A and B are shown apart, each in its own frame.
Chain A
Amino acid sequence: MTFSSILIQLLNGLAAASSLFLVSAGLSLIFGVTRIVNFAHGSLYMLGLYGAYSLIELFGRTPLGFWSAVVLAALVVGLVGVLIELAVLRRIYRAPELFQLLATFAIVLIIKDIALFTWGAEDLVGPRAPGLSMAVEIMGKRVPAYDLLLIVIGPLVLAAIWLLLTRTRWGALVRAATQDREMVGALGVDQAKLFTSVFFVGAVLAGLGGALQIPREPANLELDLAVIADAFVVTVVGGLGSIGGAFLAAVIIGVAKAFCIGMGSVTWFGVEISFSKLTLVVEFLIMALVLVVRPYGLLGKPQAAQRVAAEPAPPFKVPSWGFALVWLALLVIVPWVTDRYAAILLTDIVCFALFSVSLHFIMGPAGMVSFGHAAYFGIGAYAAGLLLKRAGLPMEAALLIAPLIAGAFAIVYGWFCVRLSGVYLAMLTLAFAQISWSIVFQWDSVTGGSNGVFGVWPSPWLADKTVYYYLALALCGAGIAFLWRVMFSPFGYALRAGRDSPLRAEAIGIDLRRFQWAAFVLVGALAGLAGAVYAFSKGSISPSTISIAQSTDGLVMVLLGGVETLTGPVVGAAIFTWLRDVVARNTEFWRAVIGLVILLIVLLFPQGLVGGLKALVMRWREWPA
């Protein structure tokens, strides 16, 4: 590389870093004060982009039209943020973290469908910035003038936020609340109003980040999750709650990615390395490195240990043999008496039941919330498909080796994950899942990219849908039974003990991290099994099996059924899979429906449907006659 091409890549990276910084700064600011990780922040970015597109169409492609559209789009997104805060988040500030994350994810789904309804599924390519569409020649290379403007805007916004935070009363309140919310309240400050205002500012930043990208990237419906995953990586690297850290991390990651793209394919010692394909891995490597050296990010501070006196989770009850046998018998008989479609739906249900039970294991007894569980499901599916199609293994072998590969990935991902807890952990699992998704999505030559893998059919003796259903029932049922058994083993008890009191676990000699790591690998392998079984039932694998949407489907299943019972996740998987099947056949906007269902659960039944119904029954009984 010549010096000039290095400079060009540097400029490219800095331009990309600007929007990334704006989104991450907003995310960080909101988290600092409210302690809520706003999943919908990527959606606000996406709305900013779509909003700017429409407003430019409305105002005309003049410099005035362009810039007023960008600013107005950001402000409108700010108001959307306020609406979200008032309508949803204000009600759940005291709810468990998991429910807050899930509620903001429901908002992601709803916004996605609103965008689909308003702007359609096609990518919308915005205009170039009027008056800035030319390129500037720097050292013999042409650099878009708009990129140079973006490079300037990043630091300008950083300076503006800094002034706002250090020169105004509002800024003093925000910084004080970031350190000690309770004390700020005791000094007479109404936190609710402060939170709303912080949400407005954070949302404006996300909206602005999106709107500014209109000349550089088309508005599309995939942006929400892509951006939030990037923003999570940036905030984890920079340190949650640190604006300066977000800027530093955005620049480092933006530049590193740009360099990878710029280097293209390089041959070293006869080996060709495609750096442009490494962009996502680079992001991952930077994050891994930072987390090992500084677990709280470059400029972050350790979170004050929160001693929340959580309600003790009740002990699980093992389903009795009679109960299990009745259900098993029903599951065996049903395809005999109904149509072929029932066997297909039931196959889906048993796959998702194992997926959901494995997720429940890691978040319930092990106490580690994963927002990226689909990584293992998807890796299992892809491993099965690729072993069959590319390695030419028999289907039976592929089916059995796939879970081991998913487990191997869990060894790597889990090593990082068990070092963190709470929201950091959730964000990291999500980032890993998104990275896995991106690799699958971009590695066309191996994974088939966006088309996926085709012709993943089971061996002839399993070709019949009903026969395959029995195989799925046997494998997934065995997986579920095994996980339930482990829950009552010394290993499972050690995990529960560590979740209940890490302090006490350490004080009686339990090396909690190793247990958690092993649990990660165990559930990773079983989720991989579910994915492999699922892949052969469909005959094809699409990247959606590894998507964040798949991860959150799992969360919804678990929470729908309730975390507090063993059978809850199975019931949740069944209801959810069936419901989605019904809804998706009747409306294109099934995501929004699911989002609304999640919001309802979170706001009305914080203990899940099974737990919520139990509580209702209890209340009914206690009612004086």
Chain B
Amino acid sequence: MLEVRDLHAFYGRAHILHGVSLEARAGEVVALLGRNGAGKSTAMKAIMGLVPPAHGEVAFAGKRIDRLPPYRIARLGLGYVPEERRIFTELSVVENLEVGRQPARDGAPTWTEDKLFALFPNLANMRERPGGRMSGGEQQMLTIARTLMGNPRCVLLDEPSEGLAPIIVEQMANSIRALKGEGLCVLLSEQNLHFSQAVADRAYIIEKGQIRFGGSMAELTADASLREQYLSV
């Protein structure tokens, strides 16, 4: 579904990604693990076209997307949920969802407001509340729901558990499992290993802009030295 080959990207003059390769298949949850500053967010942005890739290829659903503007990539069915959430603070919950709405798409689940409110019940009680007056957890739900309104085939989730209270993290894990159940492909970036273990089938470890490990979650769980080296302090 999503295939990245030797991706290089710069932030300003800083060379952040030094040749990242990874892939994610339909119906699969893949975690991109790494400490902060490792290049996770930049990788997500480069895939989405928000940071222009300097070198390398990105293919989505069999089509090269590394030269496309973000809106064309989104219209192919790749959804992006940013780390900073980027909620439209002056728009209400339903208006935020409206901005994300796109026509139904073949081969991808179709989302409606009601279906999303069922997935994220908290949001149902605050339909008219401005995005700026929501808690961090609620905003995180909203930003995911907003992206789902575009009926994507695949979603990039940048650090979905960051800064959330444990109980909300658990809800988030359930929601991601539900997305997988709908047949979506999910690529999530995380620092939180335990959260990733709870939701992901496979994992990559990124450090200093390079992929250092790629394999099943079980393999990673079995390899303590890998965790020590790249994820712990």
Q: Contact between A185 and B99 (Cβ–Cβ < 8 Å)?
A: no
Interface digits, A546-561 against B, CB 8 Å rule (1 contact, 0 not)?
Answer: 0000000000000000
Interface-located stretch among B74-82, B159-167, B187-195 = B74-82
Closest residue of chain B to A193 (Cβ to Cβ) is: B71
> Is A329 among interface residues, defined by CB-CB distance under 8 A?
no
Q: Contact between A172 and B99 (Cβ–Cβ < 8 Å)?
A: yes
Closest residue of chain A to B132 (Cβ to Cβ) is: A179
Complex Cα gap A190–B12 (Å): 25
Interface digits, B97-109 against A, CB 8 Å rule (1 contact, 0 not)?
Answer: 0111110000000
Q: Contact between A179 and B12 (Cβ–Cβ < 8 Å)?
A: no
Partner of B98, one of A169, A180, A307, A309: A169
> Is A145 among interface residues, defined by CB-CB distance under 8 A?
no
> Is B86 among interface residues, defined by CB-CB distance under 8 A?
yes
Complex Cα gap A491–B100 (Å): 51
Partner of A183, one of B12, B86, B90, B95: B86
Complex Cα gap A172–B100 (Å): 10
Closest residue of chain A to B102 (Cβ to Cβ) is: A188
Q: Contact between B82 and A172 (Cβ–Cβ < 8 Å)?
A: no
Closest approach, in angstroms, between the C-beta of A303 and any C-beta of chain B? 15
Q: Contact between A185 and B71 (Cβ–Cβ < 8 Å)?
A: yes
> Is A173 among interface residues, defined by CB-CB distance under 8 A?
yes
Closest approach, in angstroms, between the C-beta of B170 and any C-beta of chain A? 27
Cβ contacts under 8 Å, A169 to chain B: 98, 101
Cβ contacts under 8 Å, A544 to chain B: none
> Is B213 among interface residues, defined by CB-CB distance under 8 A?
no
Q: Contact between A190 and B99 (Cβ–Cβ < 8 Å)?
A: no
Complex Cα gap A183–B82 (Å): 9
Partner of B74, one of A176, A180, A188: A188
Given A176-B99, A183-B86; A189-B71 close (CB under 8 Å): yes
Closest residue of chain A to B95 (Cβ to Cβ) is: A172
Complex Cα gap A186–B69 (Å): 9
Interface majority SS (helix, strand, loop, mixed), chain A: helix
Given A182-B70, A309-B13; A187-B90 close (CB under 8 Å): no
> Is A175 among interface residues, defined by CB-CB distance under 8 A?
yes
Complex Cα gap A309–B11 (Å): 9
Q: Contact between A172 and B12 (Cβ–Cβ < 8 Å)?
A: no
Cβ contacts under 8 Å, A190 to chain B: 71
Complex Cα gap A152–B160 (Å): 50
Interface size class of A (residues with CB under 8 A): 10 to 19
Closest residue of chain B to A178 (Cβ to Cβ) is: B90
Q: Contact between B98 and A186 (Cβ–Cβ < 8 Å)?
A: no
Interface size class of B (residues with CB under 8 A): 20 to 34
Partner of B48, one of A175, A184, A186, A307: A186
Closest approach, in angstroms, between the C-beta of B90 and any C-beta of chain A? 6
Q: Contact between B150 and A187 (Cβ–Cβ < 8 Å)?
A: yes
> Is B221 among interface residues, defined by CB-CB distance under 8 A?
no
> Is B146 among interface residues, defined by CB-CB distance under 8 A?
yes
Cβ contacts under 8 Å, A179 to chain B: 88-90
> Is A191 among interface residues, defined by CB-CB distance under 8 A?
yes
Q: Contact between B75 and A188 (Cβ–Cβ < 8 Å)?
A: yes
Which positions 163-220 of chain A face chain B at CB distance < 8 Å? 169, 172-173, 175-176, 179-180, 182-191
Given A173-B99, A309-B12; A188-B71 close (CB under 8 Å): yes
Given A179-B89, A185-B69; A172-B13 close (CB under 8 Å): no
Closest approach, in angstroms, between the C-beta of A163 and any C-beta of chain B? 14
Closest approach, in angstroms, between the C-beta of B187 and any C-beta of chain A? 15
Complex Cα gap A309–B12 (Å): 6
Cβ contacts under 8 Å, A307 to chain B: 12
Closest approach, in angstroms, between the C-beta of B29 and any C-beta of chain A? 21
Cβ contacts under 8 Å, A182 to chain B: 50, 70
Complex Cα gap A185–B150 (Å): 12
> Is B147 among interface residues, defined by CB-CB distance under 8 A?
yes
Complex Cα gap A189–B90 (Å): 18
> Is B91 among interface residues, defined by CB-CB distance under 8 A?
yes
Q: Contact between A187 and B74 (Cβ–Cβ < 8 Å)?
A: yes
Cβ contacts under 8 Å, A176 to chain B: 88, 91, 95-96, 99
Interface digits, A306-319 against B, CB 8 Å rule (1 contact, 0 not)?
Answer: 01010000000000
Q: Contact between B95 and A187 (Cβ–Cβ < 8 Å)?
A: no
Closest residue of chain A to B98 (Cβ to Cβ) is: A172
Closest residue of chain A to B146 (Cβ to Cβ) is: A187
Complex Cα gap A175–B131 (Å): 13
Interface digits, A449-478 against B, CB 8 Å rule (1 contact, 0 not)?
Answer: 000000000000000000000000000000
Can you sample 28 A-B contacts with CB below 8 Å?
A172-B91, A172-B98, A172-B99, A175-B90, A175-B91, A176-B88, A176-B96, A176-B99, A179-B88, A179-B90, A180-B86, A182-B50, A184-B99, A185-B71, A186-B70, A186-B71, A186-B74, A186-B82, A187-B71, A187-B74, A187-B100, A187-B102, A187-B150, A188-B74, A188-B100, A188-B102, A191-B71, A309-B12
A residues at B contact (CB < 8 Å): 169, 172-173, 175-176, 179-180, 182-191, 307, 309
Lowest 4 CB-CB distances: which A-B pairs, in order? A188-B74, A176-B88, A309-B12, A172-B95
B residues at A contact (CB < 8 Å): 12-13, 48, 50, 69-71, 74-75, 80, 82, 86, 88-91, 95-96, 98-102, 146-147, 150
Not counting A182-B50, A184-B99, A187-B150, a sample of 7 additional A-B residue pairs whose C-beta atoms are within 8 angstroms of each other reads A169-B101, A172-B95, A172-B98, A180-B86, A183-B82, A187-B74, A188-B102
